[in-house]
Structure 1
Amino acid sequence: MKKILVLKSSILDSYSHSNKMVDYLIEHWQNNHKDDLITVRDLAKDPVPALDQATLFAFGEETAMLSEEQNAARALSDELITELKAHDVIVITAPMYNFSISAQLKHYIDFIARAGKTFKYTEAGAVGLLENKQAIVLTSRGGVHKDQPSDLVVPFLTQFLAFIGINDVQFIMAEGTALGEEYAQQSHLQAQKEMDAIINTINISVK
């Protein structure tokens, strides 16, 4: 049995193309892998707060001087990291907003990027602490940006996921969703074929 964590990050709810993609993936995953456990966290409906100075200090060394708000922020970070570590496959929806990821997803990233928890510093540099995990990123965009300098989503998430130890990352795109219904439909059909291929062939080492 594999455990899959789905992170939704679109603010558009039922109008979201990335939500449409992940809903398809969840349905077909469950149909093909009935024993797998899927957990969904919607970062738009249950948002992680923005990182500020007080919160950043709370992520440091243990201290009895934390305020109630700092303790709550630290507890949320611990909860998110524990959840992340407990799953084998991480599915991330990453709609492109102004060429990059949504604020909702960025806030989540800021809360799970903690030294000693998801990465550590060594003499050779930072080393990710998450092992034996695979990430699938479902990214929708109104225009066509694949392999272009305008796409900041792919390089950023590739870099960050590697930073915390996740190097097995696959991106599936639905591009041109604002270029007309026919274009968007064809893009979703192609994305669905790619999702089907992953669902049928996925092989992840489970601790």
Structure 2
Amino acid sequence: MSNILLLLSSPSGAASLSTKLATSLIETLKQKHPGSSVTVRDLARDQLPHIGEDFVNARGLSADQYSSGQQEVIARSDALIKELFSADILVIASGMINFGVPSTLKAWLDHVLRAGATFSYTESGVKGLVSGKKAYLVNARGGVYSEGAYKPFDFQEPYLKGVLGFIGVTDVEVVTAEGVAYGPDAAEKAIGAAQAKIAAVLQAA
């Protein structure tokens, strides 16, 4: 039995390939972990505000020094961080937007990457505080970025793996469907490969 946190971020709604693949992964996870609970946070539908002045300034203050605005933004961040810590498994569905992650997902990351909460600075360097979790990244891309001329433009997978590792989430599996904009045959092949990867990584889990 596990607590699973599913983050959706595609602006395409139910038509989103990353959403469909992540949902398929979740269903298989539930079969492997009977009785698991799934918390779904649809960041495209219920968008978080971008961090602003209150958030930035509150980071250097104690709780008793917060203004009402700072109390509100830190309370939101605290709730998201608590949700993250409560999860045993994290599934992030991300469609590539302009070579990177959707801004809705970036906003979530900005809220949960907080010094003293999800990571800390020590004499030996940065220490991630979100440990002992499994993460699955489900990426969808119209083009091909895993190899070839456009590989240097992949700011999606390296970024997500980098920030997750920064906070201590290092056990990460990646499922990617790419080249889906190259016609029906290419899309079918890409989706089939992604579904096969889902089956393989969960069989080995």
Provide TM-score, normalisation by structure 1: 0.92
CA shift at 1:139, angstroms?
0.4
Question: Which residue pairs with 1:66 in the alignment?
Answer: 66
Number of equivalent positions: 202
SS at match of 2:131: coil
Q: Distance in 2 between matches of 1:164 and 1:154?
A: 16
Query: Highest relative contact order (Cα 8 Å, sep 6+), 1 or 2?
Result: 1
State whether residues 5 and 39 of structure 1, in contact with CA within 8 Å, keep that contact through their aligned partners in structure 2: yes
Q: Distance in 2 between matches of 1:28 and 1:170?
A: 15
Q: Distance in 1 between matches of 2:152 and 2:112?
A: 27
SS at match of 1:198: helix
Question: Which residue pairs with 2:192 in the alignment?
Answer: 189
* Aligned positions of 1:56-205 closer than 5 A: 56-147=56-147, 148-202=151-205
* Aligned positions of 1:24-43 closer than 5 A: 24-43=24-43
CA shift at 1:77, angstroms?
0.4
For structure 2, the residue ranges without an aligned partner over 5 or more in a row are: none
CA displacement, residues 128-165 of structure 1 (integer Å, 9 cap, x when unaligned):
01111111100000000014111111111111111100
For structure 1, the residue ranges without an aligned partner over 5 or more in a row are: 203-207
CA shift at 1:28, angstroms?
2.5
CA shift at 1:30, angstroms?
2.4
Percent identical? 38
Return the letter of the residue paired with 1:118.
T
SS at match of 2:140: strand
State whether residues 173 and 201 of structure 2, in contact with CA within 8 Å, keep that contact through their aligned partners in structure 1: no
